[in-house]
Amino acid sequence: MRLLPALLLVLTPLSLALPTSISSPVSAIDSPIEERACATTCGSNCYTSAQITAAKNAAVNYVKQGSTAGGSTYPHVYNNYEGFNFPVSGPYYEFPLKESGTYTGGSPGADRVIVTKSGSLAGEITHTGASGNNFVGCTGTS
């Protein structure tokens, strides 16, 4: 019977050191799941809300400065020939959406973020799956 109190003395400090919930150690190490989840998917490319916001902010800064990224033509006016139902009014500007980093020139890839000069996000579109030089909406853009 003396074994039980001795065992409790050994185990009690260990149990107090354990996390109280399973999410505590994960959230302290990793970023929240929401930040890693796809906010939109263009073709097979997944973009987080942070990536979309970075592209949107870069585009708006270039538009307000009257400049473009790395000698490219981006951002430039997007005429919405495809007739997307964006939740905000134009005029619209298109800017490349990159899987890694923010576009600074060179090949733009297939994916775009659509913004207004005032900084509103209109949506995300892609050439992937579209015919010719047209666009189709990424998930969430119709």
Average pLDDT for the chain: 84
pLDDT range class, residue 142, cuts 50, 70, 90: confident
Report the CATH number of the 40-137 domain.
3.10.450.30
Catalytic residue among 35, 99, 124, 127: 127
**pLDDT digit string, tens, across residues 100-127:** 999 999 999 999 999 999 999 999 999 9
Return the closest-CA partner of residue 122 out of 38, 44, 60. 60
User: Helix or strand or coil: residue 91?
Assistant: coil
- Judge whether residue 69 has pLDDT over 90: yes
- Judge whether residue 46 has pLDDT over 70: yes
Quick check: is 124 catalytic? no
For the chain, give the percent of residues with pLDDT over 70.
75
Quick check: is 35 catalytic? no
23-30 average pLDDT score? 43
Return the closest-CA partner of residue 37 out of 53, 22, 49. 49
Res 1: pLDDT: 52
**Domain coordinates in residue numbering, the chain:** 40-137
